[in-house]
Amino acid sequence: MDNETITIYDVAREAGVSMATVSRVVNGNQNVKEATRRKVLDVIERLDYRPNAVARGLASKKTTTVGVVIPDISNSYFASLARGIDDIATMYKYNIVIANSDGDDDKEINVVNTLLAKQVDGLVFLAHDLSDKIRAEFSRTRTPIVLAGTVDHENQIPTVNIDYALAAKDATLELAKNSQKIALVSGPMINAINGKERLSGYQEALRESNQTFSEGLVFETKYSYNDGLKLAERVRASGATAAVVTDDEVAVGLLNGLVGLGVDVPNDFAIISANNSVITEFTRPALSSIEQPLYDLGAVSMRLLTKMMNKETIDEKRVILPHGFVKRGSSK
């Protein structure tokens, strides 16, 4: 008695046409007489018919859904990217299915496979680095994939990034104007591609400003406020008088930690953060920061993906978006 699934067939019968015709009007095909269209539309309205996207997906081999693999949606950095992705996806009539990976290799492989099983039309992949295992998974499929905010050192997969090395270099150079001992505070993956890039930019800046590189000035930490806070003591003990920090939350923690220790920021210690997310404005002094177009990184990667799904020819598979620098109170 609860058997009320209205199908295209019901509409066809009720409107006195074939299901092909109904399909045509539903899909906006022009080859339908205006009178018939009206009639069909009427019945659709009356029966409250809604096309079943699953059946449609099976028949057309298109799901109008893309997968988004993301380390942690509750991290504001990734959340901003995700918003950019969804807005463009929506614009092109796609939905996104989001899967958190925690940056864990096995989880990544897992979710990529279930997403592919669900026949997503494309995949946007965000991670801290690209493991060989996940690369192997990628090579098994013909589903279009683009990396957003994630460097591929093998240059195999289309990516949308900023120039992380240059950004780190710029920030370091900025600090070198006033400081002789500049620390680099990086995420847990200094050996990851993304971290490597930043490290090399940092080192290059040191060379150009005739400062010597020292392992003791490089700090690795997890991406959280508390980790930054805890790090303050060690950083001060290192004798550094400035730091480039690759994560905003960590930078806030470091700043608050140092200030809590009685350090005068920016006079005794200068800080430049990396993402210019809104939280850089929350602190006192506010954080100077490299400016990353987070939303755009997501938006552009999704746009790129639409082109790939559409089999358009891609002129440039490695998009580099410009970054900037915003000077606030934490540096001189």
Binding site for DNA (CB under 7 A): 5, 7-9, 16-21, 23-24, 26-27, 30-33, 35-37, 49-52, 55-56, 58-61
Question: Of residues 96, 168, 182, 235, which one binds a copy of itself by CB under 8 A?
Answer: 96
Q: What is the rounded radius of gyration, in angstroms, for the C-alpha atoms of the chain?
A: 25
1 binds, among DNA, a copy of itself, none (CB under 5 to 8 A by kind): none
Is position 329 an interface residue for a copy of itself (rule: CB under 8 A)?
no
Q: Which is closer to DNA, CB of 5 or CB of 74? A: 5
326 binds, among DNA, a copy of itself, none (CB under 5 to 8 A by kind): none
- Using DSSP, state whether 148 is helix, strand or coil: strand
Strands (E), 2-80: 65-70
- Shortest Cβ 31–DNA spacing (Å): 3
99 binds, among DNA, a copy of itself, none (CB under 5 to 8 A by kind): a copy of itself
Evaluate the omega torsion of the peptide bond into residue 285 and state whether it is cis, within 30 degrees of 0: yes
Q: Which is closer to DNA, CB of 44 or CB of 287? A: 44
- Shortest Cβ 122–a copy of itself spacing (Å): 14
16, 75, 46, 4: which is closest to 249 by C-alpha? 75
Q: Which is closer to a copy of itself, CB of 277 or CB of 331? A: 277
* Cβ-Cβ contacts under 8 Å for 22 (sequence gap 6 or more): 8, 11, 12, 15, 40, 44
Is position 264 an interface residue for a copy of itself (rule: CB under 8 A)?
no
Distances (CA, A) of 201 to 37, 46, 104, 152, 316: 62, 64, 26, 17, 24
